[in-house]
Chains A and B, each alone.
Chain A
Amino acid sequence: MPEVIKIKKGVDIKLQGSAEKIYASAAAPSTYALKPGDFPAIRLKLKVKEGDEVQAGDAVFYDKDRSDILFTSPVSGEVVEVVRGEKRKILEVRILADQETKYRDFGSSNPSSSSREDVKAKMLNAGCWPFVRQRPYNIVANPNRAPRDIYVSCFDSAPLAPDADFVVHGQEEEFKLGIQALQQLTDGKVHLGVDGSNNPSEAFTGIANTVVTRYNGPHPAGNVGVQIHATSPINKGETVWTVNFQDVIIIGRLFKSGKYDAQRSIALCGSQVQKPRYYKVILGANLKTLLGEGLEPTDNRIISGNVLTGSHVNSEGYLGFYDSQVTVIPEGGEDRFFGWISPNLDQFSISRALYNWLMPNKALKLNANMNGEERAFVVTGEYEKVFPFDIYPVQLLKSIMVKDIEAMENLGIYEVAEEDFALCEVVCTSKIPVQETVREGLNIMLNELGD
């Protein structure tokens, strides 16, 4: 039996609209997009221009600083639009998909018998490399570094997240191939974190030469950062790579078939989805057809990802590069008369100053309201309740706010990513923009020290 680690701090936010374990099918989206915003701290250069034809696996843009990292098209078709924002910053590269996807052939191979360089080259060329992210900094991994270990979290504990066992079912072989590919990339171990609360799928626990650890506890137990910290925290100078388990499957497919087949099982979920279910979708897909399957006719907030870390998209937005769920909640926006003393039974809180504790198991229909104004840090000890790291979160945030690089390093910034602080941001009485601050801190460190 693998080791079980109990994560005590954290909280599960129970939301309405969890996806029923059925695959539904929606009409195929007509356009797909790569969004540079999904890749923090990257300076990119376009490889295509509007009107170019691409196949699935053809490079669309690459990293200016690390030119071997390619970001490739998930489908075949025509580059129809490069959407730019302020200062001509590229926001989206949209591709009009062919009826039938033409894949560029990268050749199938057995990762176990390939060399490290071959595995790396194949993943880089096919566009599978950006799935590999590194700590510190939580950015696309630098392929020239040797990671101490590679961590894959094989469950997602975020609100309404897709069920890992359900998703991996039928793709066990691809998952295994993907892990074998990752094993070629490190001299250390590939660590798999599995859900300790039930019996996880054989697909996750039955792979040779991996370290399987069970994690038991509330969110963020499924965050890979928490798992790294609980088993072997990152020290200064060390690099650990992380990959989402669904992306391991995509990597596995590349080795099995030679194709960059970026299909994912996503959960369409949230209180405003009439029939929350699973869908098989290629990353970067336009969400219009999916959302056309039926939303409540309210003012909705559509989130690519989960409610804690996902990005706000509009009803014609695109699925993010790392996202495996689409959550739809009411936007909210109503002022609340004497809202600071009214019972507010519909709100979530970890504090008993509200009355949510009376019904701890009730699934809530939360909206995107801030529920209060931004203030200076006043209340202490609340972040610590949901932050399972041996790190002082408020002190770290303050060191970021004053841009004190030495303090950031001392206080443990190498070990964390934005998502690890998401719950701190949720429970904050003073409504401090925590995740944004952490990202800023990581960017400062990256600029100072390089990857």
Chain B
Amino acid sequence: MKLFKNILESVKPNFEKGGKLEKLYPVYDGFATFLFVPGHTSHSGAHVRDGIDLKRTMVTVILAMIPALLFGMWNAGNLHYNALGESVAFMDKFLWGAMKIVPMVVVSYGVGLGVEFVFCIIKKHQIQEGYLVSGMLIPLIMPIDIPLWMVAISVIFAVVIGKEVFGGTGMNILNPALTARAFAFFAYPSYMSGDKVWINTSTAEGQSVVDGFSGATVLGDLATSGSTQYSTMDMFLGFIPGSIGETSTVAILIGAAVLLFTGIGSWRIMLSGLLGAIAMGLIFNAVAPYAISPEQQSFMAVPFWQQLIMGGFAFGLVFMATDPVSAAQTTRGKWIYGFLVGFFAIMIRVFNPAYPEGIMLAILFMNVMAPLIDHYVVEANINKRKKRLKVKVA
């Protein structure tokens, strides 16, 4: 501890005004405040302050994502070896997945934080912690086989166009992680959808893919054939193909519990999102007989509660719809926003087979709509105040 302090003190002059690396002060500041929460005291207003800060908030979210990350590593290995028809030990599966996923995490953080630092240096701002969460989210919502350079380009797009052009952390309209995914999805569709990308089937000497292998996701299956080979239990536990972090509802629920208990994730958004999805699922169940094609009919007839555990719905709702910056900000607005996220997510995935992953588009759409929702909620409050005045005058 003392050691770190001494190192920081000894390099500090280089970064201060007049030092050789004066321009890189935001980088120094970023590292220094990472090691030590600065002890500066309040100079205006309240003299005591809550112990919470943005770093802790962000780190709590990252911790909540760890179960999904670890499961994703194991699951990637598991699916890979299953596709090859080999049975290997638990650790081998996990390590295989880790070998693929850790580099993605490293690239995501390295590139994303690099871009942030560049902007901080240009704008002479302190580095803000927003990317800490996005940097973990991005690998978790990508398919296992995406090339690292695509991850890097998506990250650059997300940070620059999704966030920095609006003014950085706290100012963005769209969720940066979903911006990255949407970019990759539309720029490199063959790497982001279909039935080849979700399970790694690369073979070495002497290995081959088993007969009758299908790499399609549950949603992909349902959209094309109306049925899926995976059981409900597989979907709930997460032994299914999909983006790295999205498959296991159990792991996501652990994360949701952390977010809800600490109060960092909005329970209103999660609950109303769930209700919205259930509502749409029930509507589909009711109108399934009137579907235009037999595949769609059987997709619509999927029990509404199964819709909740397949695809990215749970992951998106827990970790991305709740992003406080891009979600609705008022209490009442959160209810409306969450409900519509759930509602549209299920609607899009069933109606549009080209975009089986409805949650991504649903959240992005509602991100755009959130300011409008807030506007009307606040406007209602303003009108109430004006009405009070009118009643008084009359």
Contacts and interface: CB of A to CB of B under 8 A. Distances in A.
Contacts of B57: 351, 353, 378-379, 429
A376 B53 contact: no
B50 A351 contact: yes
Contact of B324 (A331, A381, A426): A381
A353 B1 contact: no
Contacts, number: 205
Interface stretch (A21-29, A114-122, A306-314): A306-314
Contacts of B264: 351, 353, 379
A352 B41 CA distance: 23
Nearest to A356: B51
Contacts of A356: 51
Nearest to B37: A339
Interface string A360-394: 00000011111111011111110010000011101
Contacts of B56: 340-341, 353-354, 372
A380 B329 contact: yes
Contact of B59 (A340, A395, A411): A340
Contact of B392 (A235, A333, A431): A235
Contacts of B43: 312
Given A340-B56, A354-B51, A378-B169, A392 B36 contact: no
A120 to B, nearest CB: 26
A394 B329 contact: yes
A348 B48 contact: yes
Find the residue from B38, B167, B168 having the highest chain A CB count within 10 A.
B38
Interface in A113-163: 159
Nearest to A394: B329
A381 B35 contact: no
Contacts of A340: 37, 53, 55-56, 59
A412 B48 contact: no
A335 B5 contact: yes
Interface range for A? 35 or more
A235 B389 contact: yes
Contacts of A384: 331
Interface string B113-135: 00000000000001011100000
Interface stretch (A78-86, A252-260, A318-326, A433-441): A433-441
A236 interface: yes
A349 B262 contact: no
Given A336-B36, A344-B51, A381-B331, A370 B325 contact: no
Contacts of B386: 410
B169 to A, nearest CB: 6
Nearest to A310: B47
Contact of B48 (A307, A335, A339): A307
B50 A332 contact: no
Contacts of B378: 392, 395, 411
B33 interface: yes
Contacts of A391: 381
B51 A348 contact: yes
B47 A375 contact: no
A35 B176 CA distance: 50
Contacts of B50: 347-351, 371, 426-429
Given A370-B42, A372-B54, A429-B57, A301 B47 contact: yes
Contacts of A372: 37, 49, 52-56
B89 interface: no
Nearest to B388: A235
B266 A426 contact: no
Given A301-B41, A349-B52, A337 B171 contact: no
A337 B51 contact: no
B382 to A, nearest CB: 4
Interface in B146-185: 167-171
A373 B264 CA distance: 18
B35 A338 contact: yes
Interface in A259-314: 301, 303, 307-310, 312
A349 B49 CA distance: 8
Nearest to B264: A353
A370 B381 contact: no
B54 A375 contact: yes
Contacts of A351: 50, 52, 57, 262-264
B330 interface: yes
A329 interface: yes
B20 interface: no
**Which of A237, A308, A373, A384 gathers the greatest number of chain B CB atoms within 10 Å?**
A373
A303 B47 contact: yes
Nearest to B43: A312
A430 interface: yes
Given A337-B4, A429-B53, A13 B325 contact: no
B255 to A, nearest CB: 14
A373 B60 contact: no
Interface centre among B35, B36, B46, B129 (most CB of A within 10 A): B46
Contacts of A390: 381, 384
Contact of B60 (A327, A353, A368, A434): A353
B48 A426 contact: yes
A330 B223 CA distance: 64
B331 to A, nearest CB: 6
Contacts of B126: 373
A13 B46 CA distance: 12
Query: A-B pairs with the 10 shortest C-beta distances?
Result: A372-B53, A339-B37, A347-B51, A376-B170, A340-B55, A435-B45, A335-B36, A368-B41, A366-B48, A353-B262
Given A333-B41, A368-B42, A372-B37, 19 more contacts: A235-B388, A309-B46, A333-B40, A337-B1, A337-B36, A348-B48, A348-B50, A349-B50, A354-B51, A368-B47, A371-B49, A373-B38, A422-B46, A423-B46, A431-B49, A431-B53, A433-B45, A436-B44, A436-B45
14 contacts: A235-B392, A310-B47, A335-B37, A344-B51, A352-B261, A367-B48, A370-B40, A378-B130, A381-B324, A381-B329, A381-B331, A422-B45, A422-B46, A427-B50
